[in-house]
Amino acid sequence: MSQADKLKQGQFTNPETPGYVGFANLPNQVHRKSVKKGFEFTLMVVGESGLGKSTLINSLFLTDLYPERVIPGAAGESFNTEEVTVQISKNILIKKWLDVYEAVLHRRLDGYMCSCHTEKIERTVQIEASTVEIEERGVKLRLTVVDTPGYGDAINSQDCFNTIISYIDDQFERYLHDESGLNRRHIVDNRVHCCFYFISPLGHGLKPLDVQFMKAIHNKVNVVPVIAKADTLTLRERERLKRRILDEIDEHGIKIYHLPDAESDEDEDFKEQTRILKASIPFAVVGSNQQIEAKGKKVRGRLYPWGVVEVENPEHNDFLKLRTMLITHMQDLQEVTQDLHYENFRSERLKRGGRKAPEPEEMDKDIILQEKEAELRRMQEMIAKMQAQMQKQGDGDGDM
Ligand code: GDP
């Protein structure tokens, strides 16, 4: 068997008993001091609801992070939401034109400000941060998972972006504050080190929302794209979707997290592992909270009439690769957060003379105002043109 085949079979299978995450190897990556203190890592998961985010997180860390969450059924609230969507969009459309018309007639620009405010739709995205302390062979990991239920449900997608961006910025802000304080030795690092962005397996690639969101956060956090519910795709479809997503990421200039190349003095296995991990992006994953009997073993999987999809089987999906990537590159994810994203934040902050960034909401208002002003200018030009034409016609009539 070739080295590559061995790796394909062995590298991503569970090294010990099922139920082993693998972060006990973390001390190899970092200084012993961090071992004593434990590791702090924050992972954010974003994607439309129902794509399997919570299931995957529970499968990744073998912990039920959300034991009390009630999953809403198909009927009920979501149905109502659609009705509201239509209703609100119609209102906005009508309101917008009335406002512009009114402003053209009466030059009441102040009225603009009010309408910007009334048009604001209630936010639906929430931020839920759950922290668990997991211990494996004496190594502690303080893991915070930040979930974003309601993402993509808001009518104005900018609304849910703002909540998430504010959360990321607030953590930087807190760190900056603590870092300049007296008690620098005991800073709790809640900065978001990685964001798994879940992409639907049903589309033909990225949706406009996916592109907009990843572009909005790529300079703030390490984005790792993940194809959800990979068991709904054939191998061919999976490969095609992966290629399409990578092309679109490239086309739109989205900066995703790049695994560092293995150093030349690393052992061959590690080099091969890095190569395989790089080639698997975007990771196509399957999650499950159920243990199923397969080939005489209990495994985490999904039972179908035609067989069992095993979560931790590298031939079935990229779950173990995603977990290996996260665990073996946890330190790099932290370093990129510190050296690139946090430094960007800090230098921006210094440029503004220590002032906070304007709230995204304020930026929104500015953009809306600018758009409305441009619209108003266009209408004024149109009216001026019409008046000139009428004048011309009137002059023509007078000549007769
Ligand atoms: P979330 O809203 O993104 O957190 O999604 P959930 O984790 O609550 O999952 C929504 C539904 O999708 C549940 O019925 C899960 O059992 C199912 N689900 C989760 N992961 C997978 C998967 O990998 N494949 C399939 N086919 N279904 C999944």
For ligand 1, whether the C-beta of 309 sits within 6 Å is: no
Q: What is the pLDDT of residues 79-111, one digit of tens each?
A: 222 222 222 222 332 233 333 333 333 333 333
pTM to 2 decimal places: 0.71
**Centroid of ligand 1 to alpha carbon of 55 (angstroms):** 6
> Residue type at 353?
G
What is the β-pairing status of strands 194-199 and 223-227? parallel
| Count of beta carbons in the 10 Å neighbourhood of residue 336 | 19
**Centroid of ligand 1 to alpha carbon of 229 (angstroms):** 7
Contact 106, 100 (CB under 8 A): no
Residue 78's pLDDT band (cuts 50, 70, 90): very low
Long-range CB contact pairs, 251-256, < 8 A, 24+:
252/206, 252/211, 252/214, 252/215, 253/215, 254/211, 254/214, 254/215, 254/218, 254/223, 255/218, 255/219, 255/223, 256/214, 256/218, 256/223, 256/224, 256/225, 256/281
For ligand 1, whether the C-beta of 52 sits within 6 Å is: yes
For ligand 1, whether the C-beta of 145 sits within 6 Å is: no
> Measured from the CA of 48, which atom of ligand 1 is nearest?
3
For ligand 1, whether the C-beta of 200 sits within 6 Å is: no
CA 226 to chain centre: 10
The rounded distance, in Å, linking the Cα atoms of 158 and 216 is: 10
For residue 3, pLDDT over 80 is answered with no
Q: What is the pLDDT of residues 33-68, one digit of tens each?
A: 555 667 789 999 999 989 999 899 888 876 544 444
Pocket test for ligand 1, best of 55, 68, 124, 290 (most atoms within 8 A of CB): 55
What is the total residue count of the chain?
Answer: 400
Query: Across residues 291-299, what is the average pLDDT?
Result: 86
Query: Across residues 271-293, what is the average pLDDT?
Result: 93
Which tokens go with 158? 């900018």
Cβ-based neighbours of 158, under 8 Å, separated by 6 or more: 360, 364
Stretch among 95-104, 365-374, 379-388 having the lowest mean pLDDT:
95-104
Query: Across residues 199-225, what is the average pLDDT?
Result: 95
Bond from prior residue into 282 cis (ω within 30 degrees of 0): yes
* pLDDT at residue 80, rounded to an integer: 26
Cβ-based neighbours of 325, under 8 Å, separated by 6 or more: 224, 259, 277, 283
For ligand 1, whether the C-beta of 51 sits within 6 Å is: yes
Long-range CB contact pairs, 245-250, < 8 A, 24+:
245/199, 245/205, 245/206, 245/282, 246/281, 246/282, 247/205, 248/205, 248/206, 248/211, 249/206, 249/214, 249/225
Query: Across residues 336-363, what is the average pLDDT?
Result: 80
Q: What is the pLDDT of residues 240-265, one digit of tens each?
A: 999 999 999 999 999 999 999 988 88
* pLDDT at residue 136, rounded to an integer: 66
For ligand 1, whether the C-beta of 321 sits within 6 Å is: no
Q: Atom 24, ligand 1: which residue's CA is nearest? A: 229
* Mean pLDDT estimate for the chain: 75
For residue 219, pLDDT over 80 is answered with yes
For residue 197, pLDDT over 60 is answered with yes
* pLDDT at residue 190, rounded to an integer: 92
* pLDDT at residue 104, rounded to an integer: 32
> Measured from the CA of 286, which atom of ligand 1 is nearest?
23
> Measured from the CA of 232, which atom of ligand 1 is nearest?
26
For ligand 1, whether the C-beta of 70 sits within 6 Å is: no
Q: Atom 25, ligand 1: which residue's CA is nearest? A: 229
Cβ-based neighbours of 44, under 8 Å, separated by 6 or more: 145, 146, 147, 148, 164, 168, 192, 194, 195, 196, 221
More confidently predicted of 331 and 78? 331
- Residue 331, classed as helix, strand or coil, is helix
> Measured from the CA of 317, which atom of ligand 1 is nearest?
23
Q: What is the pLDDT of residues 110-135, one digit of tens each?
A: 332 222 222 233 445 788 888 877 77
For ligand 1, whether the C-beta of 53 sits within 6 Å is: yes
**Centroid of ligand 1 to alpha carbon of 51 (angstroms):** 5
For ligand 1, whether the C-beta of 286 sits within 6 Å is: yes
For ligand 1, whether the C-beta of 71 sits within 6 Å is: yes
